[in-house]
Amino acid sequence: MTEPTREAVRVCASEELVDGGAGVRLGAQEASGEAVVFFVRYDGKPYGYLNRCAHVPMELDWAEGQFFESSGLYLMCATHGAIYEPDTGKCVGGPCRGARLRPLAVEERETPEGRAVFWLPDDALRPA
């Protein structure tokens, strides 16, 4: 039996995600109910995660779409100060050191309108 093919979800135009800049949030659905996912760019590549701190299940952003701390090198939980590597989601400082954010499959593609970032949902986490 083959796995069902999930429709890729367009997140934004590539130029909307700037290295270390504001992220894009989208509504999502998981088994436990509604959720939020987010997408950021780091070191030239787009990354996506479930917007939930690995320490306590709270959203990370300190203002809507603001996930990076002041240097633009790490994602930071506004509630508990946990610091995450943007490219791996691994917590490298704070109360959940060693834990990880829940990653999303993300890719960048050429479209007729130009380059865009896409989320490839899985069975456990899908668009709302």
**pTM higher than 0.75:** yes
Task: Tell me how far apart the alpha carbons of residues 125 and 75 are, in angstroms, rounded to a whole number.
Answer: 21
> Which CATH number does the domain 9-127 belong to among 3.40.50.1100, 2.60.120.10, 2.102.10.10, 1.10.3720.10?
2.102.10.10
Q: Tens of pLDDT along 34-63?
A: 999 999 999 999 999 999 999 888 999 989
